[in-house]
Amino acid sequence: MSEAYERSLVVEGSSAYERVSAAVVGVSFVAFLAAIGTFFGWVPLAENVAGFVAARYFGAVLVALGFAVAGLGVASRVGMFETAPDDSAGLVAAVVFGMLWFLTLGFVAQAVGIGAVGWIGALAAGVGLAYATLVSSEDIGSTFPVAGFLLFMGALFVAGAVTPESAWMSEAFEATFPGTVVIPTATIMGALLGGWTGAKAYAGYGTRGRQNGAFLLISLVVFLVLSILVLLLAFVFERGVAVVLENLIIGAGTALAFVALPVVLLSRRAYRRGIVTGTGTDAVSSYVRFAFLAVFVLLAAGLGYAFATATSLSYGSVTLEPTTAVGALPALVVSGVLLLVARAADTSTAETDREQLVARLARLVVAGLVAGALVELFVAEIGVPGVPFMPIAVAAVAAVSLVALVASYARDVPYPRVLPVTVLLWASVVAAVHVLATGDAVAVAGVGIVEGGTVNWPFLMNPSQGLGIQIGVMPAMFGTIWIVLGAVVFAVPLAVGAAVYLTEYAEDSLFTRGVDVATNGLWSTPSIVFGLFGLAFIVPRFGDSPSILASQLVLGFMLLPLVLITSREAMKSVPDEYRDASAALGVSKWRTIRSVVVPAAMPGVITGVILGVGRIAGETAPLLLVLNGPNFPGSAPGVLSSFDVGFGLQPPFIHVSNPALLERASALPYQLYAVITAGVGAEESFGWGTALVLLGVVLSFFAVSVASRRYFRRKLQQ
C-alpha cells in the first residue's frame, strides 16, 4: 500500500501535533504574562499558594513546557507526524541558543563559585551547542536546546535551589540580584523561547515554521510595547484623576451644553449616513460611535432628571449642581463649534428671488448683531439705563428664527432649514459675548446665560500658592498657553513661507541643499541645546533675564523645522495638475500659489502645526534655562493686560512694550519639574495631577492631529 492512502493531501481539523504545539504557545504566553505580573505584585512569587511557594509553580510550568517541547521534537524526528523540518535549525537559532547556554552556564558557575574557569567552560559549551544546533535536523536542533533550558531552570525552581529569597551579590556591579528578579526573568526567557519553538512546530518547521515563529515573537514584542503605553497612561490617570477632579462643581446647564454638543454631532452623522455603515473596522467604529451616542443621551437624561428634581448629584468629590443657567464661556465655545458645523453642512443655495431676499436679510441681521457685540466688547454697553438693548435684540432674532425653523419643517420647505439654525447660533454667540462684556446675565427664570460660576474647578482655576486654598495649576497653564501661542505666531509664518519658497520657487542648488541639511539638523538637535542657544543669544538681547518672550522664541525655533518639514510634504503632495490648470487659465505664478497651492496644502500644514505644538507644549529642558520661574507661582502672567503702545520722537516712533512678557513664569511641564525639585515641600499628589493635566493637553493635540490627518486623507481619496 502506498503512502498516498494513509495520508490525505488536505488535512481537515487540527492534528494532535498541532494541538500540543498550540498549547505550548498558549502556556508560554500565560507564563510570560504571569512573570511580568510578579514585577507589579499582581501575581504572587514569594508567597505561599496552596501549600507551596508560588515560585515552584513557575518551575513546574517551565518543566512541563520543557517536556512538551522535547516531545514535539522527538515526535517529529521519529516520524509520528508529518512535518517538514530543514536540515539545520539555522544560524539565528544556533547563535541564540549558543549565547543562551553560554550565559546560563556562566552564571551558574559564577554562583557556584568557580568564576573564571566556569566562564571558559561555559564558552566552550555554548560554542559546542551552537555547532550542534547548526548541524542537527531542525526539529531536534530547535527543540532540544530550548527544552534543556526549560527543564534545567524549572528543576532549579521546583527543587528549591533557587528561591525568591536567594540572592547573588555582584562585585563588579555592586548590586544584588535577588531570586525575585532571577526567577521571573528566567521564566520570561523560557516562555519566549518555548513560544517561539511551539509556533515553529505548529507550522511543521521548515520555512513556514520559521515564519510562524518569527511572527509570533515580533507580535509579542509589539504587544509588550503597547501594553507599556496603556499601562503608563492608565497609571498616570489613576494617580492623578482624584487630585484633578477634587472639589469640582459644575452646573447642570453647562454640563448639558457640553453633552449636547457630541449628541448633536453624532446623531447628525448617524442620521445622514445610517447607524451602522461599512464593513470591517468601519463597522466597528460605527458601533463605537453609536455606543458613545447612547452614553451621551443617557447622560443628558441624567441631567434632565437633576433639573426635574432639583437635586445635586455628587460622585466622589465632584458635584453637579442643578442650576439651569449656562456659563458664558461654555456657551460661547459650544455655539461656536456648532456654528462651524452648521456652516460646513450648509450646502443649500438661495435660488428664487424671495429666498435670496431672506438670505440677505439674515446676513444683515447677523452682521448687525455681531457689530453690536463688538461695540459692547470694546467700547460700552448699548442701551438706555435699565433697558439693555442687546438682550432684547437677541431674543427677538432668536424668536423669529425659531418660528422660521418650525415653519419650514411644518410646511416642508427645504430651503431655509439651515439658515434659521445658523442665525440662532449667531444669536447665542452674541448673547454670550454680551454677558462676558457686561457681566449681566441674559436669562429668564434661571434659564439662560450667566457670567460665570457654573463651573468651579479648583485644580485648573486656582494659583499654585496661597493661604487656605486648594492649590492648582492655573498660572502654569496660562504660562504654557502664552508660550505656545508666541511660538506659533513666530514660527508658523516663517516655516510656511520657507516651505512655499522651497517647493514653488527654488531650484535645486547649493542653497536649498544647505537648507535641507539645516532643517534636518535642527529637527534632531537636542532640546537642551536650544535652551543653551537661548541663553547665549536670545536672553542677553531681550531683557537680559529668563522670560516668557525668550521661551516663546526658543520654542519657536524648535517648532520651525517640525512645521517646515510637514508643510513641505503637504505642498509637494499637491498634484502638479492643479498648478498646470491654473497656469493654463493665465493665472500668474504667485496667484496660483496663493489661491491654489496653499489652500490645497492647508490641511497638511495645520496637521503639522498641531503635531509640532503637541511636541513643544511638553518640552521642559529649554524652559529650565530660559523661563526659570518660581516653583509655585501665586498668579498667572498678566500678558493681556500689560500691553503698552506709546508714541515717541525716537525711532521707530511707535513703541510697543509688554513688561509681563519679559518676566519669568511657569509652564505646565516646568511646574512638574518644580514639584520634583521642591522635594519634601511639595505633595506628590499635586505632581500626579499636574502630570495628568500635561498629558491631557499634549495628547489631545496629538490625537487631534492624527484625527485631522485621517479625515483629510479620507476626504482626498473620495
Partner 1 sequence: MFETLRNPRSAIREAVSRLRVLAEETDRLTLVLVVAQAFFAGGAFVSLLATRSSLATSFFFLFLVSSGVSWVLRQAVTAKILTFMMTATVLATLGLIVVFLVIEAIPVFRHTGLELFLPFDGANWSTSAGEFSLVAMIWGTVLTTLVAVVVAAPFGIAGALFISEIAPEWLKSFVKPSVEILAGIPSIVYGFIGFTILNPYVGDLFSVSPGSLFLIGLVIGLMALPTVVSVAEDALSSVPGSMKNGSLAVGATDWQTMKSVTVPASFSGISAAVLLGVGRAMGETMAATVMISHTRQLPEPTVYNVFDSTETLTTLIASSYGHVTPGELFWSALFAAGVFLLVIVTGLGIVSQIIEQRMKRKLGGKE
Site for partner 1 in 636-665 (CB under 8 A): 650-654
Contact call for residue 222 and partner 1 (CB under 8 A): yes
Decide if 419 contacts 359 (C-beta within 8 A): yes
Toward partner 1, which CB reaches closer, 644 or 684? 684
d(CA 3, CA 486): 79
Which span sits near partner 1 by CB under 8 A: 217-225, 249-257, 400-408, 425-433?
Answer: 217-225
**CA-CA-CA-CA dihedral for 388, 391, 395, 396, to nearest 10:** 50
- Please state, in angstroms and rounded to a whole number, the distance separating the CA atoms of residues 389 and 387: 6
> Which amino acid makes up residue 441?
A
Kindly identify the residues of this chain, within the stretch 600-619, that bind partner 1 according to CB under 8 A: 614-615, 617-619
Three-state SS at 656? strand
Q: Closest approach of Cβ 654 to partner 1, in Å?
A: 7
* CB of 419 vs partner 1, minimal distance in Å: 36
Helix, strand or coil, per DSSP, at residue 443:
strand
Residue 357 found at the interface with partner 1 (CB under 8 A) = no
Q: Please tell me whether residue 529 binds partner 1 under the rule CB under 8 A.
A: yes
Among 29, 149, 533, 632, binds partner 1 (CB under 8 A): 533
Position 288 contacts partner 1 (CB under 8 A): no
Query: How many CB atoms neighbour CB 605 within 10 A?
Result: 21
366 neighbors 428 (Cβ within 8 angstroms): no
Cell of 434: 454680551
Task: Locate 493 and state its grid cell.
Answer: 509664518
CB of 56 to partner 1, least distance (A): 21
Residue 143: CB minimum distance to partner 1, A: 19
The 147-176 site mask, x for binding partner 1 (CB under 8 A), equals: ------------------------xxxxxx
In the complex with partner 1, the residue whose CB is nearer, 233 or 640, is: 233
- Note the maximum CA span of the chain: 113
Considering only 241, 260, 299, 535, the residue that binds partner 1 (CB under 8 A) is 535
Listed residue (325, 359, 323, 339) closest to 429, CA to CA = 339
Which of 407, 447, 485, 517 is the binder for partner 1 (CB under 8 A)?
517
CA nearest to 190, candidates 164, 161, 156: 156
Residue placing its CB nearer to partner 1 in the complex, 99 or 229:
229
Is 198 a residue that touches partner 1 (CB under 8 A)?
no
Nearest residue (CB) to partner 1, 292 versus 523: 523
Smallest gap, in angstroms, from Cβ of residue 117 to partner 1?
A: 21
By beta-carbon proximity to partner 1, the closer residue of 136 and 519 is: 519
Using CB under 8 A as the binding rule, whether residue 624 contacts partner 1 is answered as yes
**Could you give the CA distance from residue 276 to residue 183 in angstroms, rounded to a whole number?**
49
14, 48, 185, 219: which one contacts partner 1 (CB under 8 A)? 219
Query: By C-alpha distance, which of 209, 192, 208 is closest to 200?
Result: 209
With cell 441624567, the residue in question is 302
| Residues in binding contact with partner 1, number by CB under 8 A | 114
Taking the least distance from each CB to partner 1, the nearer of 64 and 627 is 627
Q: For 67-210, where are the E strands, in sequence order?
A: 167-170, 175-178
Instruction: Specify burial of residue 430 (Cβ count, 10 A radius: 0-12, 13-18, 19+).
Output: buried
Cβ proximity to partner 1: between 380 and 518 the closer is 518
Report the candidate in 597, 567, 565 with the shortest Cα–Cα distance to residue 579: 597
Distance CA 129, CA 525 (A): 46
**At a CB cut-off of 8 Å and minimum separation 6, what does 64 contact?**
27, 154
Q: Are strands 249-251 and 383-384 parallel, antiparallel or unpaired?
A: unpaired
Residue 646 phi, psi dihedral angles, 5° rounding: -130, 160
Options 17, 202, 459, 557; binder of partner 1; rule CB under 8 A: 557
DSSP state letter for 680: G
Nearer to partner 1, 233 or 716 (CB): 233
CB of 3 to partner 1, least distance (A): 24
Of 394 and 694, the one with the shorter C-beta distance to partner 1 is 694
Given the complex with partner 1, which of 283 and 407 has the nearer CB atom? 283
Q: 42, 131, 235, 409: which one contacts partner 1 (CB under 8 A)?
A: 235
218 binds partner 1 (CB under 8 A): yes
Which residue in 661, 627, 611, 689 sits closest to 247, CA to CA? Answer: 689
Q: Do 369 and 429 touch, CB atoms closer than 8 A?
A: no
Residue among 52, 215, 292, 305 that touches partner 1 (CB under 8 A): 215
Minimum CB separation from partner 1 for residue 523, in Å?
A: 6
Task: Indicate which single residue of 452, 493, 599, 630 sits in contact with partner 1 (rule: CB under 8 A).
Answer: 493
Which ranges constitute the DSSP H helices of 439-524?
A: 458-461, 474-500, 510-524
249-251 and 455-456 as β-strands: parallel, antiparallel, unpaired?
A: antiparallel
Asked if residue 237 binds partner 1 (CB under 8 A), the reply is no
Could you say which residues in the range 261-280 bind partner 1, by CB under 8 A? Answer: 280
Q: Residue 632 CA to chain centroid, in angstroms?
A: 27
**Going residue by residue from 91 to 110, which x/- string records binding to partner 1, judged by CB under 8 A?**
--------------------
The length of the chain in residues reads 718
Q: Which of 66, 472, 531, 608 binds partner 1 (CB under 8 A)?
A: 531
Task: Work out which of 540, 599, 634, 659 binds partner 1, going by CB under 8 A.
Answer: 540
Within 407-436, the residues that bind partner 1 by CB under 8 A are none
* β 249-251/318-321 pair status: parallel
Q: Are 659 and 613 in contact (CB under 8 A)?
A: no
Is residue 187 involved in binding partner 1 (CB under 8 A)? no
SS3 content of the chain, % helix, strand, coil (to 5): 70, 5, 25
Distance of alpha carbon 293 from alpha carbon 270, whole angstroms: 9
Helix, strand, or coil here: 471?
coil
Q: Phi and psi (nearest 5°) for 350?
A: -75, 130
Judged by CB under 8 A, the chain residues 560 through 599 that form the site for partner 1 are: 560-561, 564, 588-591, 593-594
CB of 700 to partner 1, least distance (A): 10
When binding is defined by CB under 8 A, the residue of 515, 587, 596, 662 that contacts partner 1 is 515
672 binds partner 1 (CB under 8 A): yes
Closer to partner 1 by CB, 249 or 593: give it: 593
Q: 423 or 617, CB closer to partner 1?
A: 617
Nearest approach, Cβ of 484 to partner 1 (angstroms)? Answer: 13
Element housing 248 (H / E): none
The yes or no reply on residue 537 touching partner 1 (CB under 8 A) is yes
Distance from C-alpha of 520 to C-alpha of 544, rounded to nearest angstrom: 30
Q: Nearest approach, Cβ of 99 to partner 1 (angstroms)?
A: 14
Q: Is 300 in the site for partner 1 (CB under 8 A)?
A: no
Task: Find the helix or strand (DSSP H, E) in which 712 lies.
Answer: helix 684-717
Shortest separation between residue 649's beta carbon and partner 1, angstroms? 13
Of positions 56, 94, 182, 210, contacts partner 1 by CB under 8 A:
210
Residues 239-258 that bind partner 1 (CB under 8 A): none
CB of 402 to partner 1, least distance (A): 42
Q: Where in 678-717 is the site for partner 1 (CB under 8 A)? A: 684, 687-688, 691, 694-695, 698-699, 701-703, 706
Query: What are the cell numbers at 294?
Result: 447612547
Look-up: residue for cell 512569587? 45
- Minimum Å distance from CB 596 to partner 1? 14
Name residues whose C-beta falls within 8 Å of residue 161's C-beta, 6 or more positions apart in sequence: 155
Shortest reach from residue 518's CB to partner 1, in Å: 4
